[in-house]
Amino acid sequence: MANVALLPQLTLDEKISLLSGDTFRSTPAVPRLGINALCTSDGINGVRPAAHDSEMTTACFPNTTCLASTWDADLLGRLGERLVHEAQMKSSQLVLGPTINMHRDPRAGRNFECFSEDPLLSGQLAGAIVNGIQAGGAGSVPKHIVCNDAEFMRHFYNVDLSLDSRVAREIYLAAWQHLLRTSDPVGLMTAYNKVNGQSCSENQRLIDIVRNDWGYKGFFMSDWFGTYNTVAPLKAGLDLEMPFPVQRGARLKAAVESGQVRVEDIDARVKKMLEARDRTNLSHRYEQEYSEQIPETMKVARELAAGGIVLLKNDNQALPIATDTESFQRTAVAVIGEFAQRPVVTGGGSASCNPQYLIPPVEAIRKALGSDPNSTDRVQYSAGVRTRRIIPMASAAHLQSDNGNPGITVRYYNDEKPHTPVYEEDLEKATVWMFGHFKPGLQVPGSHLVLSTRLTAPSTGSHTFAVRATGAFTLELDGKEVLAGQQPDVTPEQTLFNHVRLESRCEVPLTGGQAYDIRLTMKSRDKLNVGEPTPYAVTLCFEEHLDEQATINDAVRIARNIDTAVIFAGRDGQYESEGFDMESIKMPENQTRLIRAVAAVAQRTVVVLHSGNPIDVSAFIDDVDAVLAAHFYGQEGPNALADILTGKVNPSGRLATTWPKKLELTPSFRNFPAKKDANDHYTIRYEEGLQLGYRHPDPTWVQWPFGHGLSYTDFSYANLTTTIKKTPASEGQFLYRLVCTVCITNSGPVAGHEVVQVYITPCSTSQSSSTWRPQKELKGFSKVLLQPGEARVVTVEMDLKAACSYWDEDRVSWSLERGTYGLAVGQLRASFEVEESASWNHL
């Protein structure tokens, strides 16, 4: 029996229970009627286990910016199919993602888990993933609708933008419109922020556009703790509050009993949640979580990484580093940088995951070159400078608990009995993590913990201790206080994601081989949070002193008189993460010094950049021969990168976002992040309007443009044609398709993929000359593989109205003007005629 048919049999309490989560991950079941729970999991880059602190592994795919850089909808559909298998291993019915907010500003913390600055590319690629997931019986919940493109004050800021403005409709909502044209996701997740003064989870106009104008039939759910009222969200159409019934539950029942909410309103929302269960019925398995390495999954992960890595610069034929059998046998490479030993597979926050395995890129390069992994004759390695933003957790190898075990001893005390522990444990990891659930008998507030251990210094020098704590703390070394801190003013989200906000540091001279007694005392927070879990956490951190000039000198030593130096640099999840935005896009200064020092002596210098956001490369770009954007490339990324470096795979990634020369030149620079006004309200203004990324009319701010990416081969374009195809749609109505064809020839020496990008230019005979339109807009694309010398005719079809219309704010509708439009593919240009004007407002 379909779940939706059970609606009349549900009691009011059961109905209300289905409209909120009951754990951090799942919704309730109704066992008496056989209605199952719905289990959710992030995300697209790796389906996470239920517990936030679980160490269970999962297949780790490249981050979403890397996925977008493939420009390959078919490949992303295969990713969706693999995610179904991963979701089954984690007993999840709903995969939370993909994330399709716009890359408005290169400082935004979650850009790495979003696709692009372009709405069509974002929406169509997201739709491909959704279709792949849902073909296997699971559900996809794309997020976060809408304008959730900054992390700072994300629960509070208001985007000062009408949802019926051109900017909203042509950029920010357009991505969702393209998504729903190409797929039918089971659910959509609302954003934390406000738009035009209303929180997205209760924004009636937003939900009406999606449901009424576009005809969307799925459910709407809030982001975690993103429901701010009881009545307004329900009446606006928010179906599910996550993760707990903070605003619903008893409050919602009281609203029904007082007449503020009708039972019919409840039924409408419950119906959506029952329909979601029916649409995901093939995935309703509830088993113990597990992880399995599946060959096809690993293959797709490697193809995604290879397809998304972008060759940004390649002077002096620096790449590939080996071109034939002879060069493979004699090529010598210096591999430099911590990220060559510690691969950057994911960004931070809820999009991160624990990969099934980690492959050091230096080892992948050795393997690709056929070098003996136990030999350093042809591939030498130097770590270079440190890349961390926070001090690492103290290693158990240096610690001994009170009971003689590797690690720490922790005792928990209630303040009313400060000398009698209520709980005691030994832990291998030097961290305590409680998030809403506390040790048995522990009172919060009104308690403290004492972490004790014995640290043996690995060397003599001035080493760094750090403490990341949610409460006031003191750190003692051999009975002497060396560090203390007050309770930090942080939110639960910052505790989860922005660890630097919790960190205090000090330098202490230590003697190598000597053991030191450590005592770390931390108080509980002084009050419990309302509506969100209260964190109770502390981490003991330690970092050995490093002479970075000496490590730079070592890198220079191995790079001198060698064929190619490959430097791994950039950022990882400590810099780019949910929960905070970056202040700068500059390369960390110590990494720049390393790059320039190595480039000064190496014959050829290749820089592999890890990031989700663009990096300001101005300090070193003229010093190096080649640059690759490797993104956060997942667990198979090192193998894919090695294939590209050695020429086994031809790079085919194309940028999905414009890279600026400098942050100060970006269109959004002065309007990011949210600004506080005299009334303590936070506001973001989209002053750049439609001039986002490549739509900006002045290209002088651009380092590398949207769509840029080099290859080891050459492609030529010829015979561009356009036609308009007219087919019956309904009685008296017709569907008009713009059909573009172009002949692509691989005129180079190796096989390669080319991305055909189709741009529309504005109507040249428009009667509305006062309506500004971008010089070009992406309206179609296709990726094609060509062998050397092969020519192929590529066809790209587009909906004519969607490709050529602009949003008319006066009419509150899309407007298609008759006249002559331009079409650009590569260096070729063509034109076509639109014979009739039209207004429309559907999907």
How is 258-295 classified by DSSP, letter by letter? TTSS-HHHHHHHHHHHHHHHHHTGGG-----------H
Model pLDDT for residues 244-283, shown as the tens digit of each residue: 999 999 999 999 999 999 999 999 999 999 999 999 987 7
Q: What is the mean pLDDT of residues 25-47?
A: 95
| The pLDDT of residue 322 | 78
Name the least confident of 139-143, 517-521, 557-561: 557-561
Band of residue 326 on the pLDDT scale cut at 50, 70, 90: low
pTM: 0.96
pLDDT of residue 374 exceeding 70, the answer is no
| The pLDDT of residue 325 | 63
Q: Which of 247, 251, 197, 195 is nearest to 222 (CA)?
A: 247
> For 623, how many CA atoms within 13 A lie in the half-sphere containing its CB?
18
DSSP-assigned beta bridge partners for residue 722: 740
| The pLDDT of residue 733 | 79
| The pLDDT of residue 224 | 96
CB atoms closer than 10 angstroms to residue 397: 9
DSSP-assigned beta bridge partners for residue 723: 739
The single residue of 42, 105, 223, 239 carrying the catalytic annotation is: 223
Q: How far apart are CA 334 and CA 824, in angstroms?
A: 42
Model pLDDT for residues 554-612, shown as the tens digit of each residue: 999 999 989 999 999 999 999 999 999 999 999 999 999 999 999 999 999 999 999 99
Residue with tokens 């005809």: 215
Looking at every residue in the chain, the average pLDDT score rounds to: 95
Tell me which fold the domain 305-386+548-645 belongs to: Rossmann fold (3.40.50)
Q: How far apart are CA 206 and CA 79, in angstroms?
A: 30
CB 629 within 8 A of CB 669: no
Name the 3-class secondary structure at 14: helix
Residue 147 CB partners (closer than 8 Å, separation 6+): 101, 159, 161, 168, 172, 191, 193, 195, 200, 684
Q: What is the mean pLDDT of residues 713-718?
A: 98
Distance of CA 508 to the CA centre of its chain: 37
Band of residue 331 on the pLDDT scale cut at 50, 70, 90: confident
Beta-strand pair 379-382/791-799: unpaired
CB 109 within 8 A of CB 582: yes
Q: How far apart are CA 657 and CA 614, in angstroms?
A: 8
Architecture of domain 4-283: Alpha-Beta Barrel (3.20)
pLDDT of residue 730 exceeding 90, the answer is no
CB 59 within 8 A of CB 46: yes
Q: How far apart are CA 742 and CA 240, in angstroms?
A: 47
Q: Which has more pLDDT, 658 or 373?
A: 658
Q: What is the mean pLDDT of residues 816-842?
A: 94
Structural domain spans, the chain:
4-283, 305-386+548-645, 396-543, 715-840
- Token readout for 552 is 């730079």
| The pLDDT of residue 286 | 67
pLDDT of residue 347 exceeding 90, the answer is yes
Q: Which of 683, 777, 810, 839 is nearest to 174 (CA)?
A: 777
CB atoms closer than 10 angstroms to residue 54: 13
Residue with tokens 């490369």: 617
Q: How far apart are CA 670 and CA 575, in angstroms?
A: 21
> For 194, how many CA atoms within 13 A lie in the half-sphere containing its CB?
16
| The pLDDT of residue 734 | 81
Residue type (1 letter), 733: Q
DSSP 176: H
Q: Which of 584, 639, 645 is nearest to 613 (CA)?
A: 584
Question: What are the backbone angles phi and psi of residue 328, rounded to the nearest 5°?
Answer: -60, -35
The percent of residues in the chain predicted with pLDDT above 90, rounded, is 91
Q: How far apart are CA 650 and CA 755, in angstroms?
A: 13
CB 782 within 8 A of CB 756: yes
CATH number of this structure's domain 715-840, picked from the four choices 2.60.40.10, 3.40.50.1820, 3.10.105.10, 1.20.1250.20: 2.60.40.10
Model pLDDT for residues 414-426, shown as the tens digit of each residue: 999 999 999 999 9
Model pLDDT for residues 210-243, shown as the tens digit of each residue: 999 999 999 999 999 999 999 999 999 999 999 9
184 assigned to active site: no
CB atoms closer than 10 angstroms to residue 334: 25
Band of residue 370 on the pLDDT scale cut at 50, 70, 90: confident
CB 20 within 8 A of CB 248: yes
Q: How far apart are CA 527 and CA 803, in angstroms?
A: 55
Residue with tokens 């374009």: 717
Model pLDDT for residues 785-804, shown as the tens digit of each residue: 999 999 999 999 999 999 99
Residue 631 CB partners (closer than 8 Å, separation 6+): 62, 63, 65, 66, 69, 112, 308, 309, 610, 611, 612, 637
Model pLDDT for residues 91-118, shown as the tens digit of each residue: 999 999 999 999 999 999 999 999 999 9
Torsion on CA atoms 117, 121, 127, 129, rounded to nearest 10: -80
Model pLDDT for residues 377-387, shown as the tens digit of each residue: 789 999 999 99
Report the CATH superfamily, name and number, of domain 396-543.
Galactose-binding domain-like (2.60.120.260)
| The pLDDT of residue 462 | 97
Q: What is the mean pLDDT of residues 16-44?
A: 95
- Token readout for 462 is 């001035």
| The pLDDT of residue 328 | 67
